[in-house]
Chains A and B, each alone.
Chain A
Amino acid sequence: MNAKASKTHVTCIEPAYYEAITEAIRKEAVQILKDETVVGVVGYLPGRRKGTASPALVTTAEEAGKLIFSPACVNNLSVYLTKAKKGVLKKGKVGIVAKGCDMRALAGLITESQLQREELFIIGVVCPGVYGFGAERTGTLTEANIARKCRECSVHLPDGADVAAGTHTELADLTPEEAEEMARIEAMPQAERWAFWKEHFSRCIRCMACRQVCPFCYCEQCLCDKNRPQAVESSPRPAGNMAWHLVRAMHLAGRCGGCAECERVCPMDIPLNLLNRRMAKELKELYDFEAGLNPVEKGPLNQYKEDDDQSFIK
């Protein structure tokens, strides 16, 4: 954001900043639980090991005092509102700690009528970045261990949240690794692109972690689990893997908020967010749609204009 203009080169983010966010989250969470604005708050508690955090649903003010925010708070918590903790919404309003990228997921889910804005109390985090997958998790967040998505974050400020925790800081001016990788693949000859993705997809073990962690994969029955007729082969073989990843990318097109959770949880290190990013880029170019922090009426593939581009159709 402003970091680009002023060219300040921040190489590490002080732990004190995360402590300030933690304080703000605790204060807010305790407050809304005490005055019974919400029945629970989905946030992060310290993990058992140092330098980790685990998602948690806290229901008492006492517990809420233990909530934290650190660079280890990588999870996109919005997934708990549609899947694992679906039941909590039935009991009343729920508070949720959300980074900018998580808020895009929340906005998307509200757009798709999976959540109601009135049912949520969003504690937005002015997030300076989180640890990357497999990176060193001790000490401060530096250029070496920041997540790839955070290198080119465009949702630093959680606009539209009920409260914002943390104060605006300059983001580090880092090289956009992911954008560069995407450009590199696009520049490849067609056969090389196929070889690139074939190699990546052939490693897939079809653990479906990418689906389970995705806030948008909330279908009760996934197309890929159906076998009458079978659309996508379910065993981890190259044919089914390719089909699965194409179907996944296609189903997330115009919806994905870019939290890159799929890529983080992938045990085989498949660069899944590249596919999501590519689709997002296409929809931006074609229909001027970008996943934003606030709900919209309809996603780009759920609406049309009479004069949409049809140069590829005869």
Chain B
Amino acid sequence: MHAETKQHDFEPKIVAFVCTWCTYAGADLAGTSRMQYPSNVRVLKFPCTGRIDPVFILRAFQKGADGVLVSGCHPGDCHYMAGNFHARRRFAAFRALLSFVGVDLNRLQFSWVSAAEGGKWVDVVTELTERVRTMGPMPEFKELEHEEQWSTFAGASADKVLNSPELKEAYDSIG
């Protein structure tokens, strides 16, 4: 009955921001229908895709997500009438910004999954997980998290910065 679980070298962390009215119910349907999909995904429930601030996505990447999924109701099906329409514009702009600063957009997926589309949820999650798995861990934001401000001066140039005549003079004047 249980599908054979394959061993992988890398298990990506996927964070899914979903709206409670459609995609959350869709994921629930996938679960109650006993559909199998990768357990890499961590689902976070929001009232609406319009509530999902781009800063949440940044935060997810910073705190260790390798991929992010944002999913909500199909256009026209929003419980709050227009939340997903506004979200659509916002995320279109946010994608452009991320791309401009050099983030690989393949790690960020947007989808419309209705409450009846358990199968689509499984497809979206599986595809994103496998894609991110082949891409490997996302180092960019995590590296930033562990870096200190002066790390740009690391290595050979550290001597120059820390042993500048000005600093020496200032140090000597302390006595």
**Is B a genuine binding partner of A?**
yes
Task: List residues of A whose CB falls within 8 A of some B CB.
Answer: 185-186, 188, 190-199, 202-203, 223, 231-232, 236-239, 242-243, 246-247, 249-250, 253-254, 275, 278-279, 282-283, 286-287, 300-302, 304-306, 308-310, 312-314
The residues of A that contact B76 with a CB separation of less than 8 Å are 306
The 8 nearest A-B residue pairs measured at CB: A194-B102, A193-B102, A304-B85, A282-B96, A314-B111, A313-B110, A239-B144, A238-B144
The answer to whether B89 touches A300, judged by C-beta atoms less than 8 angstroms apart, is: yes
Q: Is B86 an interface residue (CB 8 A)?
A: yes
The answer to whether A286 touches B93, judged by C-beta atoms less than 8 angstroms apart, is: yes
Q: Which residue, of B54, B58, B151, has the highest number of chain A Cβ atoms within 10 A?
A: B58
| Chain B, interface SS category | helix
Which of A194, A223, A239, A300 contacts B101, CB < 8 Å? A194
The answer to whether A247 touches B58, judged by C-beta atoms less than 8 angstroms apart, is: yes
In the complex, A232→B102 CA distance in Å? 19
- On chain B, which size bracket covers the interface? 35 or more
Question: Across the two chains, which residue of chain A brings its CB closest to B152?
Answer: A202
The residues of B that contact A194 with a CB separation of less than 8 Å are 101-103, 140
The residues of B that contact A232 with a CB separation of less than 8 Å are 55
In the complex, A243→B97 CA distance in Å? 12
A-B contact pairs, 24 of them (CB 8 A): A185-B100, A186-B100, A193-B101, A231-B59, A232-B55, A238-B149, A242-B141, A242-B144, A243-B58, A247-B55, A250-B93, A250-B94, A275-B100, A278-B96, A282-B92, A282-B93, A282-B97, A283-B93, A301-B86, A305-B85, A309-B92, A310-B88, A314-B110, A314-B124
In the complex, A237→B110 CA distance in Å? 30
The answer to whether A237 touches B149, judged by C-beta atoms less than 8 angstroms apart, is: yes
Q: Which residue, of B94, B101, B149, B152, has the highest number of chain A Cβ atoms within 10 A?
A: B101
The answer to whether A250 touches B54, judged by C-beta atoms less than 8 angstroms apart, is: yes
In the complex, A188→B100 CA distance in Å? 10
Q: List residues of B (85-142) whose CB comes within 8 Å of A's CBs.
A: 85-86, 88-105, 109-112, 124, 140-141
Question: Across the two chains, which residue of chain B brings its CB closest to A277?
Answer: B100
Known: A238-B144, A250-B54. A304 touches B82 (CB 8 A): yes
In the complex, A198→B58 CA distance in Å? 15
The residues of A that contact B152 with a CB separation of less than 8 Å are 199, 202-203
In the complex, A237→B54 CA distance in Å? 20
The residues of A that contact B88 with a CB separation of less than 8 Å are 304, 308, 310, 313
In the complex, A195→B140 CA distance in Å? 10
The answer to whether B100 touches A193, judged by C-beta atoms less than 8 angstroms apart, is: yes
Question: Across the two chains, which residue of chain B brings its CB closest to A287?
Answer: B89
The residues of A that contact B166 with a CB separation of less than 8 Å are none
Taking the closest CB of chain B, its distance from the CB of A282, in whole angstroms, is 4
Q: Which residue, of B75, B97, B110, has the highest number of chain A Cβ atoms within 10 A?
A: B97
Known: A253-B93, A278-B100, A283-B93. A313 touches B112 (CB 8 A): yes
The residues of B that contact A199 with a CB separation of less than 8 Å are 152
Known: A191-B102, A231-B55, A231-B59. A304 touches B97 (CB 8 A): no
